[in-house]
Structure 1
Amino acid sequence: MPAVSTCLAPSCGTKVEGTVDPCPNCGGKMRTPRTVRAMGWLLLACGVFLVGLMSYLWVVLAPAMAHPGDLTGGTTFTGTAEQARTILTVFGAVLVFGLGSIGYGLWLIVTGRRSIAMMIGVLVLAAVLIAISWRAMAVLPG
């Protein structure tokens, strides 16, 4: 499939085969495969950061959170078992969101095109993360 550039102006939205800038219809800025791939690299970097950070936190904190009040791995989690589950659930949700970002970023890099279905999927993951975090705020003290 040949490269397609799309006008970013909401009133225009012209699609042109090939890499074109500016828009031949309205003179506005075009979304080219190169800019889509740059966004893919950004999403990939953010996803790798989130997955790495959440994996690290999970590995370091989960043993102590599995046994609240006990000295585990040189530290003690002083919260309740429900609070530990809530915190680990938020970590897991962020990890899944990071994996979604990695997947969509790779799609953008490889194809140079956006995918509405994949974008909606990542946004749904974000909404689930927000909902889980909102619930966590009700469970955690403070």
Structure 2
Amino acid sequence: MALQLAHEAAARVIGTGRPGDRDTAQGLGADAFPDLESEKLEDVGEVDVVFDVIGGEILERSTAPVRPGGPLVTVAEPVTVHCRDGRAVFFVVEPDRNRLADLAQRLRDGRLKPIVGAVQPLAGAAAALSPAKRTPGKTIIRVAAAD
């Protein structure tokens, strides 16, 4: 969603991920896509903002392209890295009714396209959300039976 929102705001967006994610990221608006398995993030040049959703080694590597004074924002884990002349912050989403309504309208309008990887029953939630099980896209847990 962050990629799509940045693209909609006319930002130049650099998506990253595994080689199999390239087409999806570019289809959602990424202008460039370095492969995290074989390319260096330093090679993308300076960027104004990095938004990390992975953490760990990728978060550490993500400090390289941040321009001096620019922020690195992560939602994956508390920050332990430092950016040159910039700041790294751990961002926790706070619910906001108006912003959620805006996102819902963008979904209805087709401006945001969620990627649904799997729909699982509530009984299978623990297994479906296990870190060992990687499913591209979001996993939806069905709480009630469909009519």
TM-score bucket (shorter structure): under 0.3
Give the TM-score taking structure 1 as reference length: 0.21
Q: Which structure: greater helix fraction? A: 1
TM-score by length of 2: 0.20
The answer to which structure, 1 or 2, has the higher relative contact order (CA under 8 A, 6+ apart) is 1
